[in-house]
Copies of this chain bind each other. A is one copy, B any other.
């Protein structure tokens, strides 16, 4: 299977797939003409990576998860630890963004948004508190 078909089946762009090979996440074979040849196993890995990335795991987390996935003797606690750590980061990020959103919402609501120069948003950023 060539990279284009794999891209179509996994939803990952060819560039991404090549990048994943570059950093050692997948190791497809090669045909005589130099084209990458993906087997079902590779496809499966790439789909795994696509889902893990969609959940926001970093590439390094993905590498760890993939290794655990392929290790029949893994402990689920190891997987859970990675997931929980990632979850904590996501929750922290959500909290940060919500704080920004709250402040911004307030400022935007206070701004007249007309053609006059007076603007509470700029006043806030300028430190006129």
Inter-chain CA distance A118–B108, complex, in Å, is: 49
Contact A76 B125 (CB under 8 A): no
Neighbouring B residues of A98 by C-beta, 8 Å: 94
Inter-chain CA distance A48–B122, complex, in Å, is: 9
Picked from B74, B76, B100, B113, the residue with its CB within 8 Å of the CB of A55 is B100
Picked from B86, B105, B125, the residue with its CB within 8 Å of the CB of A87 is B105
Once A48-B126, A80-B113 are accepted as A-B contacts, the answer to whether A55 and B104 lie under 8 Å apart by CB is yes
Q: Which of A26-71 contact B (CB under 8 A)?
A: 44, 47-48, 51-52, 54-56, 65, 68-69, 71
Contact B100 A97 (CB under 8 A): no
Inter-chain CA distance A124–B80, complex, in Å, is: 13
Give 1 or 0 for each of A98-128: 1 = CB within 8 Å of chain B CB.
1011011101100111111111011011110
Closest B residue to A80 by CB, please name it.
B113
Given contacts A80-B108, A80-B113, A90-B100, 13 further A-B pairs with CB under 8 A are A44-B126, A47-B127, A48-B126, A68-B122, A69-B125, A69-B126, A73-B117, A75-B115, A77-B114, A79-B121, A83-B104, A83-B108, A90-B104
